[in-house]
Amino acid sequence: MKKRQTQARVPRCKKCGAPAVIYMRQHRLALCETHFQEWFVNYTQRTIEKYHMFGPEDRVLVAVSGGKDSLALWDVLTQLGYRADGLYIGLGIDEGTQYSQRSLEAVRGFMAERPGLRLYVVDMKEAYGETIPELARRVRRGRGKPCSVCGLSKRHIMNELALREGFDVLVTGHNLDDEAAVLFQNTLRWQTGYLARQSPVLEATHPGLVRKAKPFCRFYEREVAAYAIVRGIEYQYDECPFSVGATTIYYKELLNQLERHSPGSKFQFYTQFLKAKKKGLITFHEPEGEVVLRPCRICGQPTTAGEICAFCRMWVRPDMDLEEAKRSVPSLTFRVETSESEEG
């Protein structure tokens, strides 16, 4: 009896024929290590241009957490020649895990290999007197999890620092898996306001808001991870301990199941949504009268939450007058770290 051939065919790089390290089904593309790196960097540039994210003259602030996505993004933007500085926010999530401390070490390790980089560091404890878990416990928000306090603090600090330091755009390492999960969640609930705003670029719709962009929004998470590995980036592998059980993780798992049955479906789901919105085939609106942005009377950042924004409210008691309230909210402080420049 003839022996059946069981050995799988090794995919070959489409450009040079060498054994491929990755096959991307949605692009029908297999690439070797060298050509994958080249493709990844060029595809990021194409995404930046496709969605008019920023130009070569713009000052870019990259929100870095120490994870693979944000460090890979900083690496690519630097290779592409953009003027990109990093921003790291020390959340103080260290109780028993040293998560924040190890994240900062990963960022510093990354910088040590790349001369001439500049990093803004905001330490919650130093700047605001409390770590994120401490702040969340004091204000009793989020049912035992500090995520809502964390999210609102990060958004506030990133926006304030970017504007104060004169950056044109704030970029984050959100990938396709993140974006598709958010889209899935918002579609299931027909959250029209969120669907209207979900985009690779968020324009600064108010002078107190910085423009935001997500240059990795068309990469699968596995592609970003593969890029980080082939580039030798030593990132923080662990997720934040509070992310366990997050709803986004549940939606990501559902989409992964779908992807296993129908490869490329995540990519189609997200990119076709953007295409249909751009062509005007589907339109969403903010629920009428709900979104009125007014400057916070304490920090000046635009808010929908009334006179004082949700961030400042964490330090303000109802019996305080405006002057007392202003004194109670700590102001943003940061330090700047640089990696030794080759010339310097």
- Contacts to ligand SF4 by CB under 6 A: 146-147, 150-151, 240, 242-243
Backbone angles phi and psi of 63, in degrees to 5: -75, 110
For ligand SF4, give the closer residue by CB, 135 or 299.
135
| Residue 312 near Zn ion by CB under 5 A | yes
CA count, 13 A, side-chain hemisphere, 202: 15
Residue 140: count of CB within 10 angstroms of its CB: 9
List the single partner that 296 binds among ligand SF4, Zn ion, none, CB under 5 to 8 Å by kind: Zn ion
Question: Maximum distance among all alpha carbons in the chain?
Answer: 91
Q: How far apart are CA 223 and CA 180, in angstroms?
A: 15
**Is there binding between residue 64 and Zn ion (CB under 5 A)?**
no
Q: Closer to ligand SF4 by CB, 102 or 277: give it.
A: 102
Give which of ligand SF4, Zn ion, none residue 104 binds (C-beta under 5 to 8 Å, depending on kind): none
Q: Is 299 in the site for Zn ion (CB under 5 A)?
A: yes
What is the Cα–Cα distance from 192 to 282, expressed in whole angstroms?
Answer: 11
Give the integer Cα–Cα distance in Å for 135 and 259: 39
Q: How much is the CA Rg of the chain, to the nearest whole Å? A: 22
Q: How far is the CB of 201 from Zn ion (least distance, A)?
A: 25
Closest contact distance (angstroms) between CB of 16 and Zn ion is 3
From start to end of 186-232, where are the E strands?
201-202, 211-213
The item of ligand SF4, Zn ion, none sharing an interface with residue 294, based on CB under 5 to 8 Å by kind, is none
Question: Is 170 among the residues that bind Zn ion (CB under 5 A)?
Answer: no
What type of residue sits at position 130?
Answer: E
**326 touches Zn ion by CB under 5 A:** no
Site for Zn ion in 18-47 (CB under 5 A): 18, 32, 35
Kindly state whether residue 106 participates in binding Zn ion, applying the rule CB under 5 A. no
- The CB-of-7 to ligand SF4 minimum distance in angstroms stands at 43
- Torsion, Cα 194 177 238 311, to 10 degrees, reads -10
CA distance 328 to 159: 20
> Which does residue 32 touch among ligand SF4, Zn ion, none (CB within 5 to 8 A, set by kind)?
Zn ion
Q: Contact residues for Zn ion (CB under 5 A)?
A: 13, 15-16, 18, 32, 35, 296, 298-299, 309, 312
